[in-house]
Structure 1
Amino acid sequence: MPPIRALALFLLAGTAVPLHAQDAPRVDRKAAALHQSILTLDSHLDTPASLDLPGWSILDEHEVHDDYTQVDLPRMKAGGLDGGLWAIYTPQGPLTPEGYQQSRNFAVMRGLSIHKMVAASPGDFALATKAADAAPIAKAGKRVVYLSMENAYPLGEDLSLIDLFQKMDVRVIGFTHFAHNQFGDSSTDPSKAPKWGGLSPLGKQLLAEMNRRGIVPDLSHSADSTLDDALALSTAPLILTHSGCKAIYDHPRNVDDARLKALAAKGGVIQMNAYGGYLRALKPNPERDAALRALREAMPRGEMTAAQRAEMLAKRREIDAKYPADEASFEDFLAHLFHALKLVGPDHVGIGLDWDGGGGTRGMQDIRALPRITEALVKAGYSEADIEKIWSGNMLRVLKAAEDAAAK
């Protein structure tokens, strides 16, 4: 199973990024100042996939219409993003000893890449392992780096491996990704049929072990039945690191109102996603899909050289110009955000936009546009205290609750 690179993620997802991205609309001066003054954390950054790209540096400013990346240090500063959960993402592979071993090795190396990023720039980044770490790191002018794992597949069937990843400072683990695995059912398995009817027996053991260790369970990508089991069994609050509202768009990746209320009742939080295909129905574009599929099939196996990457990016830009994609808008994202806020209140909603993993909308194409969210919340009448809860307080509260539950 070849490593998934940031470019490959965009090719696979068919992410809609215009060839010439427009500057984000101007934001009210007071809202922009508020945004820069509060602690802002995004709970799902797929940016670690960029760290191993040839010639790419997190310290340099990149353009989304150039290389399709959305997060780097200069843009974090410009967009007022203090940090968040940096994901160790592993694609779902076969449920075999060989598949588990390959994914475990890949996940370890991806985690090391995150640690290397921090070690190489200690004046710019700092690891956070507890909820209380975020504020002092941000106050010192550094970016906050919590580690999460998207897809528990690399753990195989040996739950003792969770010890390895906890020692690598992983604080949040998601059970599934696009397909069912050994721990539970996914919301988007190609079979469209359940495998376990929720968490598997091993998945229930994993949940108990995460509770014991103070690791937050992430139920984004999980089937409704898997979320139900976790709500019933977890001794600590749950997080949906990047999800949306089924009441706004009925997609399997989104969560219905009854489950959102149950999540809130247990102290959990939904972090709002900005993946266009989950915000609203997008118009089919078979010519674009075919071109992207051909480009994906032409990608070199294994790691690309800088020259190969430049060639693939040029071809991708040609596809975008020839077959423009339908894009969800910033207003589509706000519809999900404000529905969740009205339903469960500002104590149970946060931000997890899926940057560098397919997230972003027209009008919010990279993190430089993040102050727009704060401006929209101000205009909707939310207080500064509520806005800070949405941007970081709720996620940190869930992290702290997991720590406290484990201590008991």
Structure 2
Amino acid sequence: MLKRMIAGAALMALLPFGAQAQEVPKKVYQLHQRLLTLDSHLDTPASLDLPGWSIEEEHGVLSDYTQVDLPRMKKGGLDGGFFAIYTPQGPLTVEGFRKARDFAILRGVSIRQMVAADPANFTLALEAKDAAPIAASGKRVVFMSIENAYPLGEDVSLLKTFYDMGVRVVGFAHFAHNQFADSSTDPSKKPRFGGLSPLGKDLLKEMNRLGVVPDASHSSDQVLDDLLALSTTPVLLTHSGCKAVYDHPRNIDDAHLKALAAKGGVIQMNAFGAYLRASKPNPARQEALKALFGQLREDAKLSPEKRAELLAKRQEIDRLYPETDRATFDDFMAHMLHALKVAGPDHVGIGLDWDGGGGVVGLEDVLDLPKITAALLKAGYSEADVQKIWSGNVLRVLAAAEAAKGS
């Protein structure tokens, strides 16, 4: 919740769907609706436990900052994706691990409850081959992933519990170093392990054994090096960008892009504005957001009062200190097209970080997704290429992990 509302970019004017649809030629929109479209990183599970919020109802990015719900998925042509169990990084202690474990399990249960509550519209996908028939039936495809392996504590066998729940992709770290791996954005700006820790290497072995895809997003370049060297299956970056376009620790350079592709891996392009380009400092806004973050703590359950307080304060910050220099759709496409040029259309996909800070001017929520298809076609990519980018590549990586189980 706080990850989206506080750390995410402020969201400005949003066109109604009718106006958005007019920006894309009818034939392109129809093609987009025919494609199998998956986003590899949806932080939408953070919304599922909010009081009064239902994924069945259409919400507005201006009213509650959410970017994904069932009606908007249908209108924007998103067939589904990987619903993330995101856990904030906490202390590397027995108590910290216990709290994180419980938080993550509850978040996973929320995803399963979403599916169970509406079998007419959502189906859990456990294998790559599940996606196409689910989408063809008109339902949304629900894969599950973990962002930040911190909740596993120091017991890699706990991964099997999450695997049995439905998790098929796991990211090793988040904003700070943990027990498994170095983060690309740790506040210390110094490595802890110089890549994967010994425990992280054990976790990778368990992932390969179970058929879980290793996700290198948020981890350091050295972690990516270790994953490429040690994993028996291709590596995925579920939501990342290109350092050649904007030099940010969350992005990867061309050498790593080429190495990733050489091993069959895929980079899924994100739309988190702060990772796409530099923006003018807005210290008053940042201080206000920092103060708000200090007042409110993310819990597995958020009371109606806390949610109302959070929304009101965030909206007041947006009114007093508007974000006037936001990244744009063109900035996002610059990263996308660069990755395609360097790695090729077999190794690029889409993971926009919806409901977790993603969203730029012109790409505000899932209603805007047909614009990506239009831009890729305009850039000269074929329908077959666009299908790979929208789902074929990530499903290939998942299928490879499944095929190599036990290795």
Q: What's the TM-score bracket when you normalise by the shorter of the two chains?
A: over 0.9
The residue number in structure 2 matching 1:334 is 333
CA distance in 2, matches of 1:234, 1:394: 18
The residue number in structure 2 matching 1:174 is 171
TM-score (normalised: structure 2): 0.96
CA shift at 1:109, angstroms?
0.4
The residue number in structure 2 matching 1:382 is 381
- The yes-or-no answer on 1:76 pairing with 2:76 is no
Matched residue of 2:107: which SS? helix
CA distance in 2, matches of 1:10, 1:118: 22
How many residue pairs are counted as aligned between the two chains?
Answer: 401
The residue number in structure 1 matching 2:243 is 246
CA distance in 2, matches of 1:159, 1:292: 36
CA shift at 1:30, angstroms?
1.2
Residue 12 of structure 1: which of 6, 17, 24 is its match?
A: 6
Residue deviations 1:232-263 (CA, integer Å, cap 9, x gap): 11110000000000000000000000001000
The aligned runs of 1:142-181 (5 Å cut-off) are 142-181=139-178
Residue deviations 1:311-359 (CA, integer Å, cap 9, x gap): 3312212211221112100000000000000111100000000000000
CA distance in 1, matches of 2:135, 2:156: 34
Mark the CA change 1:14 to 1:214 in structure 2 (over 3 Å): closer, same or farther.
closer
- The yes-or-no answer on 1:98 pairing with 2:95 is yes
RMSD: 1.3
Amino acid at match of 1:398: V
CA distance in 2, matches of 1:388, 1:322: 42
Matched residue of 1:406: which SS? coil
The aligned runs of 1:7-406 (5 Å cut-off) are 8-18=2-12, 20-23=13-16, 24=20, 26-299=23-296, 302=299, 303-325=301-323, 326-406=325-405
Amino acid at match of 2:11: V
Q: 1:184–1:200: 8 Å Cα contact kept in structure 2?
A: yes
Moved more, 237-246 or 278-287: 278-287
CA distance in 2, matches of 1:143, 1:297: 36
* 4+ long deviations beyond 4 Å: 300-303
Q: 2:49–2:302: 8 Å Cα contact kept in structure 1?
A: no
Q: 1:174–1:219: 8 Å Cα contact kept in structure 2?
A: yes
Amino acid at match of 1:312: L
CA distance in 2, matches of 1:264, 1:301: 37
CA shift at 1:14, angstroms?
4.5
CA distance in 2, matches of 1:257, 1:72: 35
CA distance in 2, matches of 1:348, 1:144: 21
CA distance in 2, matches of 1:282, 1:301: 27
The residue number in structure 2 matching 1:3 is none
Matched residue of 1:244: which SS? strand
Matched residue of 1:401: which SS? helix
Identity %: 67
CA shift at 1:113, angstroms?
0.2
CA distance in 2, matches of 1:301, 1:89: 11
Amino acid at match of 1:327: R
CA shift at 1:291, angstroms?
1.5
Residue deviations 1:34-76 (CA, integer Å, cap 9, x gap): 1000100000000000000011000000000000000000000
Q: 2:180–2:196: 8 Å Cα contact kept in structure 1?
A: yes
CA distance in 2, matches of 1:199, 1:319: 39
CA distance in 1, matches of 2:298, 2:244: 41
CA distance in 1, matches of 2:278, 2:365: 21
Q: 2:6–2:314: 8 Å Cα contact kept in structure 1?
A: no
CA shift at 1:29, angstroms?
1.0
Q: 1:274–1:354: 8 Å Cα contact kept in structure 2?
A: yes
Amino acid at match of 1:22: L
Q: 1:11–1:292: 8 Å Cα contact kept in structure 2?
A: no
CA distance in 1, matches of 2:365, 2:298: 28
Mark the CA change 1:105 to 1:137 in structure 2 (over 3 Å): closer, same or farther.
same
Mark the CA change 1:300 to 1:359 in structure 2 (over 3 Å): closer, same or farther.
closer
Residue deviations 1:248-299 (CA, integer Å, cap 9, x gap): 0000000000001000000000000100000001211111112222223333
Matched residue of 2:405: which SS? helix
Residue deviations 1:111-156 (CA, integer Å, cap 9, x gap): 0000000000000000000000000000010000000000011111
Amino acid at match of 1:177: H
Moved more, 398-407 or 337-346: 398-407
Any gaps of 5 or more consecutive residues in structure 1?
Answer: 1-5
CA shift at 1:214, angstroms?
0.6
Matched residue of 1:297: which SS? helix
CA shift at 1:226, angstroms?
0.6
CA distance in 1, matches of 2:127, 2:82: 12
Mark the CA change 1:101 to 1:180 in structure 2 (over 3 Å): closer, same or farther.
same
CA shift at 1:390, angstroms?
0.1
CA shift at 1:365, angstroms?
0.5
Amino acid at match of 1:316: R
CA distance in 2, matches of 1:367, 1:247: 27
CA distance in 2, matches of 1:300, 1:132: 39
Any gaps of 5 or more consecutive residues in structure 2?
Answer: none
CA distance in 1, matches of 2:310, 2:159: 36
Matched residue of 1:222: which SS? coil
